[in-house]
Amino acid sequence: MNLQDSVASLKGVGKKRLPLLEKLHIETIEDLLRFFPRRYEDRRQAVPIMTAPIGKEVLIIGTVMSKQMVGSPYNRRRLLKVQIEDNTGSLELLFFNGKFLESYFKAGEKMTFFGKITLNNGRRQMAHPEFHKLGDAKDVRGLLPVYPLTEGLTQANLRAWQQQARGAIGQITEWLPLELVETHHLCSPAYAIEQIHFPQEERPVLESRYRLIFEELLILQTGLFYMKHGASDVKKGVRFAKEADVEPFLSSFPFQLTAGQARCWHEIERDLESARPMNRLIQGDVGSGKTILAFLIMAKFAHEGYQTAIMAPTEVLARQHYETFQEWIAMFELDFPVILLTGSLTAKEKREAYARMETEQNAMIIGTHALIQEKALYQKLALVVTDEQHRFGVRQRETLADKSSRLPHVLVMSATPIPRTLAIILYGDLDISVVDELPAERLPVKNCVVGPKMREKSWNFILDEVQKGHQAYIICPLVEANEELELQDVTSYVKKLEQYYGDRISVGLLHGKMRPAEKNKVMEAFVTGEIQVLVSTTVVEVGVNVPNATVMMIEDAQRFGLAQLHQLRGRVGRGNAQSYCILMNSSNGKNAKERLNILAGSNDGFYIASEDLKMRGPGDFFGVRQSGLMEFKIADVFSDADMLSIASEEAKEYVVKCNLNDCEKDMRLETTLKNAYKMTEYNTNI
């Protein structure tokens, strides 16, 4: 078996499972070996029932004492209760929809159970544990890897395939310079891969993670640094022979630019005086006024006779940009064409948009991913703007940039709050501008953290706001009810609200499983005020500007990251009316309360991100959380921030050495570039 062999050669893969592995970007044996566990289950030793820690996954060995089906015999979703004992006490096992499991449990039989123990009125319970007969072949002990999955695959599948691929690990050789390996005390890549998949103890896993995280971050930083500084044959971008005069409509704008906006504008202007194409990130908190900066620079290019394009992550947001740009053009009495191109346009509308793009050489073109499709052809495209950077990958950005005969300037906008020191490293291929203040007329959002007992009072508060002519969002973590997770879901929540409010309020439903056309229709209805309260999942995190929305209520707020909560809160407070954020905390944990109080005490996204980073600490290898910002295989930009900084410095030195030695075509450097592209692909599945 070779590293580049297809995973189709593995026993048990077959035609049905091969596409599922491809969804996980696993095509070769090496891809499989570099598909890392997200955590581990500690099944090395069974613990006594009465001394087992509450709330943690544990392995229990117990004897089945009794079993009982609860509920109507005609209900297929009946509850199965199984009572087990060891020499310290008893434990109740709960299996919802357990009718078909009843025959597995026989009184007097010893079995192993793995799951999380909870307390219910003093009784120890375990819901839906994994179970096996004692001594069964599937009753595996040790540190078991837990892999990210897609529907149709199981942990048993991944573990079995990793075991088959194990023989190819010896072909993985050291590729880092010896000096780097010794300086940072790195184990060999083969040892790291072996231990990450087949661990016996914790220490080798930690050593392996250290190596693999360092390697991954080094590849990323080398690729980004090379993109920005290493290439010697950089094409020239559009350079202005003279300044495009934007002062007339700057002075006629209904409000002055903030100091942060003005500073960012001047940094952009300096970029455009250089022949080198601009690659700049505008990082601004929610509502800080990044869109007007995008409009101003696009107007500057249009004034000089060049096309510009701005790509938004959703159709609703693209349409809103389109309408806003048209309003501003009318306000400033400008004569620049504005073109909308999205996937939902009719065939006729698309043909008209394509035709205009080929003839109107100073058009402002606004759209979604439709902008990078093959049929979208441009004339004199000189500037590419991408909105909400964390929803677009480097490849998508560059695909749009490649539509120009000359290398266009690139402006990226992001409302993701990341501490500046981390952002400088993370966005290594971009110069960074920060808009760090809100427009003066914006009132700070008022925040509160409450428990479920305040839910009805919160609903009444929303009713008051709606009767004042405003609107509200309510966010739930789930789409549908889940018996294993006692969390709010949008489907049943809408029914509760409709029953509570009656005909006093129009309630809408939105979630990611809906078809794009359905989602657009719901969002349009909310924008126009037809829907007064929108119950949604986090699909609205990157949403539209609805200044009339004044309340954001987030159910089970403890389940979300602080940065995501801040993004959601940013959907309100966009008008002149006072806005509110209600964080519903359904947890009794101290940590959850502390985290939510950080959010309630500040509206500064960068401060919140910094505090979140402090609270998360270095992470625990049994459950390292991913940031959600980049699709790393094993690293975490927050937990591994210190290592990211070290890797950044090493990457700079590596690229500089390559250039000095005239080895830009070094295969290892090319590999880092390819891997960097893969790593900077952001998750676009909302």
pLDDT tens digit sequence for 402-431: 676 667 888 888 877 666 656 666 666 678
Q: How many CB atoms lie within 10 A of CB 356?
A: 15
Q: What gap in Å lies between CA 111 and CA 95, rounded to an integer?
A: 16
Q: Yes or no: say if 282 and 412 are a contact pair by the CB < 8 Å rule.
A: yes
- The reported pLDDT for the residue numbered 635 is 81
pLDDT digits (tens, 9 = 90+) for 192-214: 999 999 998 899 999 999 999 99
For the chain, the farthest-separated pair of C-alpha atoms sits apart, in whole angstroms, at: 89
Tokens of 282: 């505008």
Using alpha carbons only, what angle is made at residue 192 by residues 190 and 196, rounded to the nearest 5 degrees? 125
Ranges of residues in the chain with a pLDDT under 70 are 72-77, 226-255, 275, 388-402, 404-406, 417-429, 440-441, 483-484, 541-543, 613-631, 637-638, 655-686
- The reported pLDDT for the residue numbered 623 is 33
- The reported pLDDT for the residue numbered 613 is 63
- The reported pLDDT for the residue numbered 194 is 96
Rg of the chain over all Cα atoms, to the nearest angstrom: 28
**What values do phi and psi take at 115, rounded to 5?**
180, -170
- The reported pLDDT for the residue numbered 330 is 87
Q: Which helix (H) or strand (E) holds 589?
A: none
Per DSSP, the residues of 362-394 read: T-EEEESGGGGSTT---SSEEEEEEESGGGS-H
Per DSSP, the residues of 470-518 read: -EEEEE-SBSS-BTTB---BHHHHHHHHHHHHGGGS-EEEE-TTS-HHH
Q: What gap in Å lies between CA 557 and CA 394, rounded to an integer?
A: 31
Q: What gap in Å lies between CA 173 and CA 273, rounded to an integer?
A: 47
> Rounded to the nearest 10 degrees, what angle do helices 202-225 and 641-660 cross at?
50
Tokens of 424: 């400088």
Closest of 437, 440, 412 to residue 426, by C-alpha: 412
Q: Yes or no: say if 585 and 593 are a contact pair by the CB < 8 Å rule.
A: yes
Residue 266 CB-density burial (10 A; 0-12 exposed, 13-18 middle, 19+ buried) = exposed
Q: Which parts of 244-314 fold into alpha helices (H)?
A: 247-251, 259-272, 290-303
Residue 368 CB-density burial (10 A; 0-12 exposed, 13-18 middle, 19+ buried) = buried
Q: Which residues contact 120 (CB under 8 A, 6 or more apart)?
A: none
- The reported pLDDT for the residue numbered 619 is 36
Q: What gap in Å lies between CA 541 and CA 313, rounded to an integer?
A: 11
Q: Yes or no: say if 336 and 286 are a contact pair by the CB < 8 Å rule.
A: no
Q: What's the whole-model pTM score?
A: 0.60
Residue with tokens 């009125």: 121
| Backbone conformation region of residue 181, classed left if phi is above 0, alpha if psi is from -120 to 50, else beta | alpha
Q: Which residues contact 553 (CB under 8 A, 6 or more apart)?
A: 458, 462, 472, 473, 474, 475, 581, 582, 584
Local structure of residue 445 (DSSP, 8 states)? P
Dihedral over Cα of 593, 595, 597, 600: its sign: negative
- Please measure the distance between the N-terminal and C-terminal CA atoms of the chain and give it in whole angstroms: 38
- The reported pLDDT for the residue numbered 681 is 41
* SS3 category, 311: strand
CA 683 to chain centre: 6
> Rounded to the nearest 10 degrees, what angle do helices 667-679 and 202-225 cross at?
100
Q: What gap in Å lies between CA 93 and CA 84, rounded to an integer?
A: 8
- The reported pLDDT for the residue numbered 671 is 56
Q: How many CB atoms lie within 10 A of CB 519?
A: 21
Residues pairing with 41 in the sheet: 144
Number of residues written out for the chain: 686
